Amino acid sequence: MDRTERLLDLIALFLDAKEPVSPAELREVFPDYGQCSKEAFERKFERDKSELAELGVNLDYQPPGNEELGGYRLRDGYYLPEVSFTPEELAVLFAAGSAALASGAFPGRADLGHALRKIAFGAPGGPVGGSPHLFAELGKATAEAGARLETLWGALLARKRVRLSYRALGRDEQTEREVDPWGMCLRRGVWILVGYCHLRQAERTFLVERIARVRVNDERLKSPDFEVPASFRISEVAAEQAWEHRFHPPVEVELQLSAELAPLASRLFPKAAVEAAGEGARVKVVATYLDALLRRVLPLGEGAKVLGSARALARFREMAEAVARHHAQPEEPR
Amino acid sequence: MSEARERLRRLLLVVPYAVRHPGLRVEPLAERLGVEPATLRDDLDKLALVGRPPFSPDDFIDIYVEDDRVFVVLDQRFERPPRLTAPEAAALWASAQLLRPAARTALASAQEKLFAAVPESAREPFERLAERVGSEAAPMDELLEPLSRAAREGREVEFDYLAAGRDKSERRTVRPYAAYLHRGHWYLAGFCLVRQDDRLFRVDRIRSLLLTERTFRERKEVRAETGARSGVSARIRFSPTAAPWVRERFAEQAKALPDGGVEVELQGATRDWIVSYVLSFGGEAKVVEPAFLRDAVGETARRIVAAIG
């Protein structure tokens, strides 16, 4: 009997058991357990038990009572409860889930696939699919990129330290980093790994596409290498704008938006202070990467003006003039 | 995750699915389970060996294929799937975050149900994991919820649209096909009654949205890469400073130039999009051709310079 069979047989036994199953009974009914020493049985059973726990099947030991012998039983039940998602809820979960699966660029794809199959189980009608009216398109990832995300997902779940070979942008050299993976997010179409970088001794973000290689610490796989700070929220990292990358000390930039642009202010510059000014709006944005902010302002056209600081305005003028120069009309032939 | 564990996890779903869909053919059953038909056949052979003590004939799972159809006689109580594990629920939740700006209401109610489907001992790990994986959620529910609803129900919408690089917005009437997320931006694809053509709109540039009672029937399947676009092509040159980013984004489409910069041929973009894309490089990009686009970028830049004063 192979291990897969034994584990399934164990589940079948516990699903049917009306009373806790004692270790002695287990040894009696499973030759694999009975035909070895007590110590070997205990080790083997512990390993099986933790394998089952990975599948969400938890066995608890119940000590002997007045009437009963001590033994194991299923904790928390086994079966997926009847969950009645509405068609709309299912459509959203499947639209998002199938986009993630189709792209190959989503961490935890195996887990996601199983979750979708489980929640689809109770759904009435035919196979559940996504929605043609609401979807996400993540683009196709290479098999290598998908595998890297999957490795990081595993490390994130088990809280294991990873060793990254990280490429710097535009350079061939790589740095080796030891990182505690706190979280991951998709930001402007790009996967970001956030964690504690032991090289820099601080929280750092890494673009997953710049990770050339990743290796998970394989020592003591069952015990986590780190704790995630209680205050950590991936949503804050995900919401970070390009001009909020911490490259420079913060500067406050003041913008004047036209009447046409003013209603879009909070979408264009989330987190900025917006107040009505004349027909339009005045916006104050804090930037730690000034050029990124100005590059966001330029495409807004003449409806967006930089009022200050003086340095921001000078840089903005420099950029606008450079674009104008590059696209100058050829001089009239004399 | 090891292959053996992956298989075990799958096997726990095979019997429930076969019980729920008695007599379903191998292929559609395999499809529902996300495996190849041959793999499912192997799985069925394996399951026939599973049983419980004392392992008399009636104690085994009895599952078989007849005329390509799968039947279960004895399920040995494997009639429903196991509960969701914390990583499964977290992966599902993380993917659902993609569509949150468009379906906040539906997801809020789904979250509670999902929570109930996770065993008590896994709820805290699930919640902690959910704080660790996610995606940006643009604050646009007031637009995306009605837009996706309009697409679903086939209702016309009206809105003011400020196209990129334009300084005046324009009222549009649109028959929406779909709202979708692509590279961090939300788009609305639909038939524009003003332009009498398929158009793509950036949702963050829509305002004063009105969901009308006027319905329509014609639908179109939309995909981001084939999205409704006017199809202008342009050659754009990037400076050595911008080159590393461009290479990362365009890979082999970015052709190296002698000065260390790169050149990219963009296809199927709109005029307005190219203008704002080039501007967003702040002088590190320039349109080589076509001439009308070069002029459009230059014109916008000159107006910006003039406005600075």
- What are the structural domains of chain B? 3-74 (1.10.10.10), 86-130 (no CATH), 141-226 (2.30.30), 232-308 (no CATH)
Question: How is A277-319 classified by DSSP, letter by letter?
Answer: ETTEEEEEEEESSHHHHHHHHGGGGGGEEEEE-HHHHHHHHHH
Residue from A315, A323, A309 nearest A255 by CA: A309
Q: Cα–chain-centroid distance for residue A27?
A: 43
Q: How far is B154 from chain A (nearest CA, A)?
A: 10
> What integer pLDDT is reported at residue A207 of this predicted model?
92
Return the DSSP state at A209: G
Q: Report the C-alpha gap between B175 and B157 in whole angstroms.
A: 6
Residue whose C-alpha is closest to residue A157's, from A137, A122, A184: A184
Say yes or no for a CB contact (<8 Å) between A55 and B82.
Answer: yes
- Put simply, whether B108 touches A (Cβ < 8 Å) is no
Question: What is the average per-residue pLDDT within A80-109?
Answer: 88
Torsion over CA: B173, A267, B99, B121 (sign): negative
Please, which contacts does A141-146 make with residues 24 or more away whose CB atoms are closer than 8 Å? A141/A103, A141/A104, A141/A105, A142/A104, A143/A104, A145/A104, A145/A105, A145/A208, A145/A209, A146/A104, A146/A105, A146/A109
Task: Give the best residue of B99, B147, B236 to mutate against chain A (max A CB count within 10 A).
Answer: B99
pTM: 0.88
- B155-203: pLDDT as tens digits: 999 999 998 777 789 999 999 999 998 878 899 999 999 988 888 899 9
A90: helix, strand or coil: helix
Model confidence at B18, in pLDDT bands (50, 70, 90)?
Answer: very high
pLDDT > 70? residue B134: yes
> What value does the mean pLDDT of chain A take?
90
Contacts of B304 (CB under 8 A, 6+ apart): A298, A301, A302, A320, A323, A324
The residue type at B160: D
Structural domain boundaries in chain A: 3-74, 84-140, 144-238, 244-326
Judge: B207–A183 Cβ closer than 8 Å, yes or no: no
State residue B174's pLDDT score. 97
Instruction: Give the Å distances, CA to CA, from A230 to A182, A227, B15.
Output: 11, 8, 41
Q: Is B90 on the interface with A (CB under 8 A)?
A: yes
Buried b (16+ CB within 10 A) or exposed e, B61-78: bebebeeeebebeebbbb
Closest-CA residue in chain B for A131?
B152
Q: Is the backbone peptide bond immediately before B22 cis, with ω within 30 degrees of 0?
A: no
B81 → closest Cβ in A118, A325, A327 = A118
Q: Which residues pair with B236 in a beta bridge?
A: B264, B287
pLDDT at position A330 is 65
Q: Above 80 in pLDDT, residue B138?
A: no
Handedness of CA B166, B244, A194, A145 (dihedral sign): positive
d(CA A95, CA B178): 12
| Topology given in CATH for the domain delimited by A244-326 | Alpha-Beta Plaits (3.30.70)
pLDDT at A273: 94
Judging contacts by C-beta atoms under 8 Å, the chain B residues touching residue A107 are 91, 94, 133
Interface test with B, best of A7, A8, A121 (most B CBs within 10 A): A8
Report yes or no: B259 at the A interface, CB cutoff 8 Å.
Answer: no
Determine contact: B217 vs chain A, CB below 8 A.
Answer: no
pLDDT grade, residue B228 (50/70/90)?
very low
H or E element in which residue B27 lies: helix B26-33
Whole-number Å distance between alpha carbons of A53 and B133 = 22
pLDDT category at B230 given cuts 50, 70, 90 is low
Neighbours of A311 (CB within 10 A): 11
Q: Which residue has the tokens 């956030």?
A: A194
Q: Residue B81: list chain A partners with CB under 8 A.
A: 79-80, 117-118, 121
**How many helices and strands in chain A, by DSSP H and E?**
11, 12
Q: How many C-beta atoms lie closer than 10 Å to residue B125's C-beta?
A: 16
Q: At what angle do helices A38-54 and A3-16 cross, to 10 degrees?
A: 80
Taking the mean position of all CA atoms in its chain, how far away is CA A217? 20
CB A75 within 8 A of CB B121: yes
Strands (E), chain A: 59-62, 71-74, 134-137, 162-167, 174-187, 190-197, 202-207, 211-216, 251-257, 273-277, 280-287, 304-308
| ipTM of this complex prediction, to 2 decimal places | 0.89
The model's confidence at residue A333, banded by pLDDT at 50, 70 and 90, is low
* Sign of CA pseudo-dihedral B221, B226, B229, B230: negative
Task: Give residue B292's Cα distance to chain centre.
Answer: 34
What are the pLDDT digits (tens) for A136-189? 888 777 888 889 999 999 999 999 999 999 988 777 789 999 999 999 999 888
Contact check, Cβ <8 Å, B6/A324:
no
Name residues whose C-beta falls within 8 Å of residue A51's C-beta, 6 or more positions apart in sequence: A3, A7, B5, B8
Compute CA A173 distance to the chain's CA centroid, rounded to the nearest angstrom: 27
Q: Tell me, which fold does domain A144-238 have in CATH?
A: SH3 type barrels. (2.30.30)
Burial (0-12, 13-18, 19+ Cβ within 10 Å), A31: exposed
User: C-alpha distances in angstroms, A168 versus A176, A209, B113, B245?
Assistant: 11, 11, 43, 11
